[in-house]
Amino acid sequence: MSQIKKNPPSDAFAPGDFEIVGADTAQSERFARRPVTYWGDALRRFRQNKLAVAAFFLLLLITIMTIAVPMLSPYDYAKQDLKVRKQWPSADHWFGTDDLGRDLFTRVWQGGRVSIAIGVLGALIVAAVGCVYGGIAAYFGGWVDMLMMRIVEILSSVPNLLVIIMMSIILDSSSIPTLLLAMTITGWCPVARLVRSQMLQISRSEYVMAARVMGVPPLQIVLRHMIPNTLSLIIVNITFRVPGFIFSEAFLSYVGLGVQPPNTSWGALASAGQANLLFYPYMMLFPSLFIALTMLCFTLMGDGLRDALDPKLRR
Amino acid sequence: MKRAFALLLSLLMLCSLLTACGGGNETAGGDEKEQETQGSQTDTPDNTNAPDEVQTLSILYSAEPSVLDVARFLGIADRSLFYNVLEPLVRIENGVPAAAGAESWSFSDDDLTLTFTLRDNCWSDGQPVTSEDYATALRRQADPKNAFAFASDYYAIVNFEAVSTGEMDADALGIETPDDKTLVLHLTAPTPALLSSSEFFPCRADVAEACGDTFGTEADKTPCCGPFVLTEWTHNSALKLEKNEKYWNADNILLQSATLNIIPDSNAQLASFENGSLDYLTVSDADYVKKFQGRDDMSEMLIPSARTQMVVFNCKDDVFQNAKIRQAFSLAIDREMLAEVISNGTATPAYSLIPAECSVGSLNFRENADEPLLALKAQHSDAKALLQEGMKELGLGEDTSKLTVSFAWGATTATARTYAELYQQMWQDALGCVVELEFNDSSTHMSNVNQGNYQMAITSWGANIEPQFQLSRWANKKGGQSQWQNADYNSLVSRANQTVDEKERLELYAQAEEMIVTDAAFAPVYFAAQRRFYYNYLQGLTGNTFDTMGLSGLYTVGRE
Amino acid sequence: MLKFTLKRLGYMLVVLFIVVTITFFLVHSIPGDPITAMVQDLPEETRTVYLARYGFDQPLGVQYVRFIKACLCGNLGESLRYPGRKVIDIVRNYAPVSGVIGGLSLAIGFTIGILCGILAALNRNKWPDKLIMVIAILGTTIPTFVTAAVLQYLLTVTWPIFPTTGWGQAKHIVLPVLCMCVGPVATYARYMRSSVLDTVNQDYILTAEAKGVSQFRIVTRHIFRNSFLPCITMICSSIAGIFSGSFIIESIFAIPGLGKYFISAINDRDYSVVLGLNIIFTGIYILAMLLCDILMALTDPRIRYSNDR
């Protein structure tokens, strides 16, 4: 770019005052700052949402606590001490003790491990299976798509609760993996539908059509357009689904089909505490509080992510 | 709510219902009230404790009855309702058989024929109750088409077993009805405990035929001839009983109506009792006990439930086939601690199978027979050493920490888990082995246990008055749930069952009990009991475990 | 439209048949049988008689064929746990109970939720929005068994306003409905809020504003109508769930509804009831989905167009 000197004083310019510096045509298209990528933009918008950021850090804190507390705590979450049964929160036992004298502070964080693991893993499994299934259906189209979607329809017509309960009884739900299997066996259906319809929608959209016309190879289209555009949807979906899994596990614990002792979960702790509700409300309070808090964080974070990732709301 | 906990509570409740009334026997807390009750019932009531004008009760009922048909019912919930709406030939009152539907009965000299003489009683529609009604019930119970679950209770009757398995025609049944008021039963062998262990209910042939499959499924399809009539039945919610004016003893029944509420959630049960929607309730929670003990308008009584909580060992299992290992696991149980923690101090530690309430004829069993586990315990002070011996015999080495056994529970609730962990830790501390817990819902658990698909399992067995009921269970071909087969034991029990002399019978039962408990086919843990709270206006409650008087003795005094 | 409906109906029957087949084999693969579940001390010969009586001694394939035949004749069988009760009668008697509670709480929850959602969206980021959203999120995050237990104690013991448990009178309905409508209120409020926000940003709203249409009219005529549409899908699936009832609420308040019946039927291995209820529930679900499709097609011309094409 050319430089222009400031207005000279009274006397006129002489040609010698000017100097040819040339024009850098190569750099002329360059932006003043680095181009904003989709993810960078999303991150910026996510950061602006203070509530979502706070939720994210709170979740991070909860996760760290669930890992650290059971390791560092002087109490073992499964160790019973009948001398200190049903004690209210104190300096020794921050959240009190349960009916067998186990330290609730340690148990709540240990339960958090299981609950969060079930929530996150459940959502991830559902998302992964749903993506692959929905992606295949959308990619091949035709009778493959037709058949695959009919299967989804049939699976999602079986009442969900029935499937979960029967699977846990049949699989003898003594471990977390079987529990996860029972919960996800039909849970991926809505994700598959969602992914398929999103993929179809994108593949019919103008910019994909334009890319095709311009001769971009299919793999490139899938990598550049289909996946990023679906990914945002899936990420949002995962964050919204995590609380659902935590909640289902709590329900299963209430019915008696949740995680098996000595392991525990927030749901199991809360339903154990429900029996002592009147006299030892803290037994139910802490686990329910953490269920609520975690779900709240995931919801807020999900809201934030959706606003950040959804191009429609970009304004 | 927690299903199994509710189930447990309801089981307890159930027993309390079974024993709801009658007079006399001493139980903690109930004793004093008892005297007063009897006084007011027989004497002219004075003004201070005259029964109320309106006599109505609202109580908890354990579960939805399956079907109110004596030949098809499946649960204990049904049986305790039969005591209220039907009139059995004989009821248990104060722990002994008393005349009810039958005015009197007599055994023949060879003890093989039992003749009942019936009382004049009417069905609520006015028809007289005849001996044919009682015979109908037995015939229907023996009919394989009804697949009656408790058919084996009546195997003492000639050909009952063969008829019920379809091998013989119904005509072959050893029952006779010479006239409307006489019923004769022919027995296969002398059965001195028959009347205290089997019930004989009447059944209306005409109604059963008219209703077909739906007989006993609704209030209007359930003919009644007991102290009460079933007037309303909202399935899974409540049953309503009203006094049967045509009942032979109607004059002595004060209660006019009762609502039996089916409430599965234990918190809801307690809340209902606390706000007066229920008149009495069995309470096990320590804090509620304390709370209700502080209430002036409530009283409590302790009722033994004649139920033995036990751990059964699978004697066909690779590890538990060894008697020393079984004994070690049995001796390692800290019964005092478990009774205290689990039952909140109501249960009694069990070192034997037969509860203290059982008797042989007029002799109390426990007073005349020592608890066999106490002797075993004195012999072997170190359970771990015993386990090591047993392991060596099986070639498993001496290191108990290498032994892993599983312990199965038939409930998946938080409470069940908590208790199971108690056992787990106790065994691991005492024996140094690894105990794995297995939780299944009760159906799966039962089917596993009955098929011998377990190592150790928790169960509980209710008792009848006579030890016969508890001991015969292990004397069949399979060897009971433990698959513990012992020919000596079997012959001992069957000899005892047919021995008419009380003293001799008791001696034989005691020997059998010692044999099975010492060999540790199972480990008795504690004898359950329940703490029942009731509002002070409620009169006539008794703690007689085995009584089958229904609600007929209850009434209220001074209820607002 | 008629052709579309008929085609869907025929297709529905196929789905129903497959679902029934799957559940039949699922149910029969659960260990245990109804009589072992009920009677602890069952002699082997009695069990044999019992199994023969109900045909459980036959191979599973034979049982399946017999079951399908009976279903085709409209006979869903008889309960095993409660002998003499026909499955169809169980549905007839208890579906209305679950229906009343579920329907009322859905209706109330839906109405309040939608109103709250609109209110929140129109006051975006102001205090009513924040208040409503906090309550809505809390409403979805506290487990029902916690809410129900607390409310039950407070309103029947501490302040004895309502009966603790029971069924039959109007007063018995209040508490369960109160506990059950918390969820729908929260869900619909959140859903409606984001739906309204989507609509508010549309160009036709801007046009209407520019034309000088009154705010009230914009809200009622444009925003409400358009943002209400996506909620139809949701309400259809909620309606399908009404009759299956709520296990937790029905247990805690001792209500004789289908939810409790269904779970205890699974626990009791009451095969015929589980299968029968499953057929009914699946049928209702598929019907509701069909209804939803038809409703959508009727209300949204764009969908109708794409279907016809």
B456 beta partners: B313, B407
Q: What sign does the CA torsion over A118, A119, A122, A124 have?
A: negative
Q: Which of A17-26, A132-141, B427-436, C153-162 has the lowest mean pLDDT?
A: A17-26
Cβ within 8 Å, pair B421-A174: no
* Structure confidence at residue B512 (pLDDT): 94
- Portion 250-269 of C in contact with A at CB < 8 A: 262-263, 266
* Model pLDDT, residue A293: 87
Question: According to the per-residue pLDDT averaged within each range, which of A216-230, A262-276, B271-285 is highest?
Answer: B271-285
For chain A, the average pLDDT equals 80
Nearest to C282 among A159, A284, A299 (CB): A159
- Closest-CA residue of C relative to A293 is C141
User: Closest approach of chain A CAs to the CA of B413, in angstroms?
Assistant: 5
Picking from B22-26, B238-242, B382-386, which range would have the lowest pLDDT averaged per residue? Answer: B22-26
State whether B524 and B540 are in the same domain: no
List CB contacts (< 8 A) between B442 and chain C. 37, 267
Range with the poorest average pLDDT among A169-178, C181-190, C296-305: C296-305
Interface test with A, best of C145, C191, C238 (most A CBs within 10 A): C145
Residues of C in contact with B450 (CB under 8 A): 36, 42
Specify the pLDDT at position A314. 46
Distances (CA, A) of B458 to A90, B309, B441, B445, C188: 36, 8, 13, 9, 47
Contact C262 A270 (CB under 8 A): no
Among C30, C38, C94, C248, the strongest candidate for a mutation testing the B interface, having the largest count of B CBs within 10 A, is C38
* Chain B residues with CB-CB distance to A254 below 8 A: 2
Residue A10 has pLDDT above 70, yes or no: no
Q: Are residues B141 and B235 in the same domain?
A: yes
**CB-CB under 8 Å, C39 with B149:** yes
Local confidence band at B535 (pLDDT 50, 70, 90 cut-offs): very high
Domain that holds residue B484: 304-528
Residue from B59, B66, B412 whose CB has the most chain C CBs within 10 Å, to mutate: B66
Mean pLDDT, residues A39-55: 84
Q: List the single best residue of B2, B272, B406, B446 to mutate versus A (max A Cβ within 10 A).
A: B2
C13 in contact with A at a CB cutoff of 8 Å? no
Higher local confidence (pLDDT), C165 or B81? B81
Region for residue B539 given its phi and psi (left: phi exceeds 0; alpha: psi -120 to 50; beta: otherwise)? beta
Question: Chains near B, with 3+ CB pairs < 8 A?
Answer: A, C
**What is the structure's pLDDT at B36?**
39
C23, pLDDT greater than 60: yes
pLDDT of A50-83, one tens digit each? 888 998 999 999 999 988 888 888 888 877 777 7
Alpha-carbon gap, residue B182 to B114, rounded angstroms: 10
Average pLDDT in the A250-269 region?
A: 79
Q: State residue C299's pLDDT score.
A: 72
Pairwise CB contact (< 8 Å): C82 & B216: no
- The C-alpha of C168 sits at a distance from chain B's nearest C-alpha, in angstroms, of 9
Among the partner residues C140, C146, C282, nearest to A157 by beta-carbon distance: C282
Per-residue model confidence (pLDDT) at position C1: 66
Please give the pLDDT value at position A29: 59
Same domain, B341 and B284: no
Q: Which chain A residues contact residue B422 at CB under 8 A?
A: 80, 100
Residue of C nearest to B71 (CA): C83
| pLDDT beyond 80 at B22 | no
Q: How confident is the model at residue C26 (pLDDT cuts 50, 70, 90)?
A: confident
B528: pLDDT strictly greater than 80:
yes
Whether B27 is covered by a domain: the verdict is: no
Given a cut of 60, whether residue B537 has pLDDT beyond it is yes
Q: What is the pLDDT of residue A27?
A: 65
Whether residue B18 lies inside any domain: the answer is no
Closest chain C C-alpha to A300 CA, distance in angstroms: 9
Q: Domain check: are B501 and B386 in the same one?
A: yes
User: Residue B152 pLDDT > 80, yes or no?
Assistant: yes
Instruction: Categorize the per-residue pLDDT at C84 as very low, low, confident or very high, splitting at 50, 70 and 90.
Output: confident
Contact B425 A80 (CB under 8 A): yes
**Contact assignment for A276 to B287 by CB distance below 8 Å:** yes
In this model, does residue A84 exceed pLDDT 50?
yes
In this predicted structure, the answer to whether residue C157 has a pLDDT above a threshold of 90 is no
Q: What is the pLDDT of residue A174?
A: 62
Among A220-224, A308-312, B113-117, B431-435, the range scoring the smallest mean pLDDT is A308-312
Overall size of chain C counted in residues: 309
Q: What are phi and psi of B458, to 5 degrees?
A: -90, 135
Q: Is B145 on the interface with C (CB under 8 A)?
A: yes
Q: Where is mean pLDDT largest: A1-10, A35-44, C258-267, C290-299?
A: C258-267
- What per-residue confidence (pLDDT) applies to B40? 39
The residue type found at C57 is D
Three-class DSSP labels, B176-215:
EEEECCEEEEEECCCCCCHHHHCCCCCCCHHHHHHHHHHC
Query: Going by DSSP bridges, is the β-strand pair B298-313/B280-282 parallel, antiparallel, or unpaired?
Result: unpaired
C29 → chain A, closest CA residue:
A170
Q: Poorest-confidence range of B20-24, B112-116, B226-230, C142-146?
A: B20-24
Kindly state the average pLDDT of the residues B442-462: 87
CA distance B164 to C50: 11
- The predicted model scores a pTM of 0.81
Asked if the model's pLDDT at residue B30 lies above 50, the reply is: no
User: For position B28, what pLDDT does the model report?
Assistant: 36
Lowest-confidence segment of A108-122, A156-170, B246-260, C41-55 by average pLDDT: A156-170
Q: What is the dihedral of CA A176, A180, A182, A185, to 10 degrees?
A: -160
In this model, does residue B259 exceed pLDDT 80?
A: yes
pLDDT of residue C309: 37
Task: Collect all residues of chain B within an 8 Å Cβ-Cβ radius of residue A271.
Answer: 2, 414
**CA atoms of B90 and B201, how far apart (whole Å):** 9
Contacts of B535 (CB under 8 A, 6+ apart): B276, B279, B280, B297, B298, B559
Average pLDDT on B114-122 reads 93
pLDDT of B121 over the 70 cut: yes
Instruction: Check pLDDT > 50 for residue B39.
Output: no
Computed over every residue of chain B, the mean pLDDT equals: 85
Q: Which CATH class is domain C92-268?
A: mainly alpha
B150 at the C interface (CB within 8 A)?
yes
Q: B237 vs chain C: nearest CA distance in angstroms?
A: 6
And the tokens for B426?
């106790």
Cβ-defined contact of A268 to B441 (cutoff 8 Å): no
Residues B446 and B372 in one domain: yes
**pLDDT for res A152:** 86
B283 with B321, same domain: the answer is no
**Residues of chain C contacting residue A299, judged by C-beta atoms under 8 Å apart:** 137, 140-141
Say if residue B75's pLDDT is above 50: yes
Question: pLDDT at position B24, please?
Answer: 34
Which of B8, B207, B235, B288 to mutate to probe the C interface, most C CBs <10 Å? Answer: B235
Query: C27, C275 in Cβ contact below 8 A?
Result: yes
- Tally C-beta pairs within 8 A across A and C: 88
Q: Do C84 and B444 touch (CB under 8 A)?
A: no
Q: Is B218 on the interface with C (CB under 8 A)?
A: no
**Between chains, do A166 and C153 touch, taking CB under 8 Å as contact?**
no
3-state secondary structure chain A: CCCCCCCCCCCCCCHHHCCCCCCCCCCCCCCCCCCCCHHHHHHHHHHHCHHHHHHHHHHHHHHHHHHHHHHHCCCCCCCCCHHHCCCCCCCCCCCCECCCCCEHHHHHHHHHHHHHHHHHHHHHHHHHHHHHHHHHHHHHCHHHHHHHHHHHHHHHHCCHHHHHHHHHHHHCCCCHHHHHHHHHCCCCHHHHHHHHHHHHHHHHCHHHHHHHHCCCCHHHHHHHHHHHHHHHHHHHHHHHHHHHHHHHHHHHHHHCCCCCCCCCCHHHHHHHHHCCCCCCHHHHHHHHHHHHHHHHHHHHHHHHHHHHHCHHHCC
Domains of chain A with CATH codes: 59-313 (1.10.3720.10)
Given a cut of 70, whether residue B46 has pLDDT beyond it is: no
User: Model ipTM?
Assistant: 0.82
- How many CB contacts within 8 angstroms connect chain B with chain C? 158
Given a cut of 80, whether residue A309 has pLDDT beyond it is: no
Say whether B267 and C37 touch across the interface (CB within 8 A). Answer: no
Smallest Cβ–Cβ distance between C82 and the set B67, B441, B461 belongs to B67
Residue B14 lies in a domain: no
Q: Which chains touch C (3 or more CB pairs under 8 A)?
A: A, B
Sheet holding B113-118: strands in order across? B102-107, B113-118, B182-186, B175-179
Instruction: Extract the tokens encoding B323.
Output: 């008697």
Taking residues C235-251, report their average pLDDT.
80
| Average pLDDT for C183-206 | 83
Domain count, chain B: 2
Q: Do A162 and C140 touch (CB under 8 A)?
A: no
The two structure tokens encoding residue C59 = 């191979």
**Spatial distance between the Cα atoms of B167 and B161, rounded to a whole number of angstroms:** 9
B226: CATH? 3.40.190.10
Whether residue B543 contacts residue B302, with contact meaning beta carbons closer than 8 Å, is answered with: yes
**Selected residue with higher pLDDT from B78 and B185:** B185
Residues of B in contact with C35 (CB under 8 A): 74, 147, 149
pLDDT of residue A315 exceeding 50? no
Residue A26 has what pLDDT?
A: 66
Would the pLDDT of B229 be above 90? yes
CA distance B442 to B431: 28
pLDDT digits (tens, 9 = 90+) for A177-201: 888 888 888 888 888 888 888 888 8
How would residue A32 be classed by pLDDT, with cut points 50, 70 and 90? Answer: low
Check: CB of residue A298 under 8 Å from CB of residue A54.
Answer: no
Asked if residue C56 has pLDDT above 70, the reply is: yes
Chain A residue numbers touching B267 (CB-CB < 8 A):
274-275, 277-278
Average pLDDT for chain C: 82
Q: Does B7 reside within a domain?
A: no
| B463 and B548 fall within a common domain | no
Provide the pLDDT for residue B505. Answer: 92
B352: in domain? yes
User: Chain A, 244-283: which have a CB under 8 Å from a chain C CB?
Assistant: 247, 250-251, 254-255, 267, 270-271, 274, 277-278
Of C37, C49, C167, the CB nearest to B147: C49
Interface of A with C in 138-197 (CB under 8 A): 153-154, 157-159, 161-163, 165-166, 169-170
Please determine, for residue C205, whether its predicted confidence score (pLDDT) is greater than 80. yes
Nearest to B437 among A100, A261, A279 (CB): A261
Asked whether residue B151 is domain-assigned, the answer is: yes
pLDDT at B459 over 60: yes
The pLDDT assigned to A98 comes to: 81
